[in-house]
Amino acid sequence: MANPSLLILPGDGIGPEVMGEVRKVIDWYGANRDLSFDVSEDLVGGCAYDKHGKPLADETMAKAQEADAVLLGAVGGPQYDVLEFKLKPEQGLLRLRKEMDLYANLRPAQCFDALADFSSLKPEIVGGLDIMIVRELTSGVYFGEPRGIEKVGNERVGINTQRYTESEIARVARSAFELARRRNNKVCSMEKANVMESGVLWREVVTEVHAAEYSDVELSHMYADAGAMQLTRWPKQFDVIVTDNLFGDMLSDLAAMLTGSLGMLPSASLGAPMANGRPKALYEPVHGSAPDIAGQGKANPIACILSFAMALRYSFDQGDEAARLEAAVEAVLADGLRTADLMGPEGGTPVSTTAMGDAIVAKLNDSL
């Protein structure tokens, strides 16, 4: 049988640096676990704009639709901030999400024991934390129409529209309930039903889907602002959180800091199953292109490496191999290896991006 195909889009800034370390891990699986991929690489974001004049070429979009899974590094950079909106690097990523219909964005926040002291919250608050944020990714205010900047009278007005259909809410709710059944069986849905009609509908539909199909799962609702407060107060009260596109964007950055660093958080963006039974899927770290540290060997590659672990689990049915990779990451952290973002007063051994990748591969070797 042909090897599964992986399309790699390293992107901008630290994207290519962290993806370089993922390539080492992919090669390791090919050499040691009889798990080879047919890998191809292409451009997205600012680098695609530089070459093609747009942040995602149509040929790259077509390749992404065909791939068994897509791995993305990060997009964006200050030099592109002046571009008109539809040419900005971020639009390349948004096009991938929208056209592949990747409606369920899984953002796990797990605090590794070795980092519990490093989080900006107390170790007893974050130690052992393991939550999953399910962010709706293809609708809401990110894509709603009308949008734009218009002249009204003698001033400009910026317009975006929060819009959700029942079916958009129902399908992401199902994703959250399904995940919860394989975890601790609890879902908390977050919206602003107190001020937004889209929030009222969100709460109603989640409640209906729950009653009809998932009454075995414990369901609660929270306003998203209170949810942010509860995430910092006592995050271990949560198992799965399901929320909309914009709230999910913010709450997942917040959750990242519970785990120690934005450089730790992976994500999987999943759509409907393809003909081969695998979900349409794109895997990417939650962090961005980090222009402030790009090109300096400082980036933490763990978020991107753990995103590949999610690909092993969700696209390739290799949960044991995903667990092997997660254990290798945990072991390296337990040894005290720290990229710059993980260096706190309690110290550790400072390592570069590539040294962190090499150390994880060494732990994979030890696992054999």
Shortest reach from residue 218's CB to ligand NAD, in Å? 31
Kindly identify the residues of this chain, within the stretch 230-249, that bind Mn ion according to CB under 5 A.
249
> Known catalytic residue: 117?
no
- Which positions from 79 to 98 touch ligand NAD by CB under 6 A, shown as an x/- string? -----------x--x-----
Nearest to 93 by CA among 287, 311, 305: 287
Kindly identify the residues of this chain, within the stretch 288-307, that bind ligand IPM according to CB under 6 A.
288
For position 9 contacting ligand IPM by CB under 6 A, the verdict is: no
Kindly identify the residues of this chain, within the stretch 265-284, that bind ligand NAD according to CB under 6 A.
284
Which residue of this chain has its Cβ atom nearest to ligand IPM in the complex?
Answer: 90
> Known catalytic residue: 88?
no
CA distance 367 to 320: 12
Residues facing residue 195 across a β-bridge:
none
Kindly identify the residues of this chain, within the stretch 8-67, that bind ligand NAD according to CB under 6 A.
14, 18
Amino acid (one-letter) located at 171: R
For position 310 contacting ligand IPM by CB under 6 A, the verdict is: no
CA distance 127 to 258: 9
CA distance 271 to 317: 16
For position 117 contacting ligand IPM by CB under 6 A, the verdict is: no
> Known catalytic residue: 63?
no
- Residues near 118 by beta carbon (within 8 Å), at least 6 away in sequence: 260, 261, 342, 344, 346
For position 358 contacting ligand NAD by CB under 6 A, the verdict is: no
Confirm if 134 and 240 have CB atoms less than 8 A apart.
yes
Q: How many residues bind ligand NAD (CB under 6 A)?
A: 22
> Known catalytic residue: 253?
yes
Taking contact as CB under 6 A, which single stretch among the options 129-137, 177-185, 210-218, 285-293 is the one that binds ligand NAD? 285-293
CA distance 96 to 65: 9
Let me know how long the chain is.
368
299 binds, among ligand NAD, ligand IPM, Mn ion, none (CB under 5 to 8 A by kind): ligand NAD
> Known catalytic residue: 225?
yes
Shortest reach from residue 165's CB to ligand IPM, in Å? 20
Strands (E), the chain: 5-11, 38-41, 69-74, 104-110, 130-136, 144-152, 155-161, 186-191, 218-223, 240-243, 268-273, 279-283, 337-338, 349-350
Confirm if 340 and 350 have CB atoms less than 8 A apart.
yes
Shortest reach from residue 328's CB to ligand IPM, in Å? 25
DSSP state of 87: G
Cβ-based nearer residue to ligand NAD, 14 or 25: 14
3-state helix, strand, coil in the chain (%, to 5): 45, 20, 30
Catalytic residue among 239, 244, 249, 341: 249
Amino acid (one-letter) located at 121: L
Q: From the CA atom positions of the chain, what is the Rg in Å? A: 20
CA distance 297 to 302: 13
For position 326 contacting Mn ion by CB under 5 A, the verdict is: no
Shortest reach from residue 302's CB to ligand NAD, in Å? 8
For position 99 contacting ligand IPM by CB under 6 A, the verdict is: no
Cβ-based nearer residue to ligand IPM, 91 or 110: 91
Shortest reach from residue 349's CB to ligand NAD, in Å? 16
94 binds, among ligand IPM, ligand NAD, Mn ion, none (CB under 5 to 8 A by kind): ligand IPM
Residues that bind ligand IPM (CB under 6 A): 90, 93-94, 249, 286, 288
Residues that bind ligand NAD (CB under 6 A): 14, 18, 74-77, 90, 93, 262-263, 284, 287-293, 299-300, 303, 341
Catalytic residues: 142, 192, 225, 249, 253
